[in-house]
Amino acid sequence: MNQQHMPERPIWRDAEDGKIRIIDQRFLPHDLVISELNSVDDVISAIYEMMVRGAPLIGVTGAYGVYLALANEGQQTDLQPAFREADRIKAARPTAVNLAWAVDRTLEKAAAASPDRRAETARQEAAAIAEKEAENSYRIGRHGLSLINEIAGKKSGSPVNILTHCNAGWLACIQVGTATAPVYAAHEEGVPVHVWVDETRPLNQGARLTAWELGAAGVPHTVITDNAGGHLMQKGMVDLVIVGTDRTTYTGDVANKIGTYLKALAARDNNIPFYVALPSSTFDWQIRDGVAQIPIEERDPDELRYMPGFEKIDENLLMPKTSLAANYAFDVTPARLVTGFITERGVCRAEERAIRELFS
């Protein structure tokens, strides 16, 4: 790890030079690389290349993209170019609902301001979305803590074993994360927890990012292959599953990193609670049937064919040169497999009526 000063957030506006900066997460856990976002193209490639990832962070990054579009255009009365830039940003990744939500909201606020105030209005809105996400994460942590405390009460001092998939930590969510927020809250209060960290192929966000975050915070954790969770559940080694989500329908279907569905099936088969932690910005209020209707991004097969983080030389090719590979980035866990949602407003069952009651 480079001995860089550790940022508190994965994206921020520098107080001194006014530049938007991010942690380039592709180099973690071995290097802490900070990059600048100076243009819409920078923003798009940061999102598509996954320098930033995670639904709330993608949203905030997209909002700063609207700010950069307006700032770089200078004062214009015509808003059409800004709308076109917003469309380009929203197309960078299709699955997370936060991106479109944050971009639209930021541009809407900016459009309502006078031309000379638009860029500044967008910047303030992006910052406000970031603050709101951070606050939501802390609230999610408090609500999730009560679930962990309930289990801890039955374990007479031995750690609560929590399994998570991918990274829904502060790197994905501004601060403390969504799925990790209850873990950090428990750890801070001295409730013993241990996290099973799914490696999360092909980009290894669990092994690289979640393990790094948890290690930095001193939370006991063990990295496992994505294949292992079912076995651990059969053997009574998992008390609770908590994952994040990129988009959740108002009916409770959960799009999240590919492989989440398999863990939900195993949790159900072993009577282990399976919770999804999310801020309200991640709910999709339009889509009824997640499995049929949520668009699932298909990414470059080379992410799977080559080991990520290395140069693409022959030795890093993991399979025969002539074999095809397919790289679906997400799957959808039907609501029937979800025990409940941990949101900033509290915990609710994974069904339309309960969701609408909480967010009426």
CB contact at 8 A, 239 and 155: yes
Out of 47, 60, 186, 197, point to the residue binding a second copy (CB under 8 A): 197
Give the total residue count for the chain.
Answer: 360
Query: Which H or E element spans position 222?
Result: strand 221-224
Quote the least distance from Cβ 273 to a second copy, whole Å: 17
Residue 23 pairs in a beta bridge with 34
Residue 354 within binding range of a second copy, rule CB under 8 A? no
Q: Which is nearer to a second copy, 169 or 279 (CB)?
A: 169
Q: Give the strand pairing for 274-277 and 240-243.
A: parallel
**Catalytic residue from among 246, 253, 284, 331:** 246
- State which of positions 275-314 bind a second copy (CB under 8 A): 291, 296, 304-305, 307, 309-310, 314
CB contact at 8 A, 66 and 122: yes
Residue 179 within binding range of a second copy, rule CB under 8 A? no
Quote the least distance from Cβ 263 to a second copy, whole Å: 8
Q: Cα(181)–Cα(193) distance, rounded to whole angstroms?
A: 12
Q: Give the strand pairing for 330-333 and 254-257.
A: antiparallel
Q: Which is nearer to a second copy, 125 or 226 (CB)?
A: 226
Backbone angles phi, psi at 110, to 5 degrees: -65, -40
Residue 197 pairs in a beta bridge with 164, 223
- State which of positions 225-264 bind a second copy (CB under 8 A): 225-232, 234, 257-259, 261-263
Q: Which is nearer to a second copy, 69 or 166 (CB)?
A: 166
- State which of positions 322-341 bind a second copy (CB under 8 A): 322-328, 330-332
Q: Clarify whether 300 is annotated catalytic.
A: no
**Which residues are CB-contacts of 111 (< 8 A; sequence separation ≥ 6)?**
79, 82, 118
Active site residues per annotation: 246
What does the binding site for a second copy look like in residue numbers (CB under 8 A)?
Answer: 29-30, 197, 199-202, 204, 207-208, 211-212, 214-215, 221-232, 234, 257-259, 261-263, 265-266, 269, 291, 296, 304-305, 307, 309-310, 314-320, 322-328, 330-332
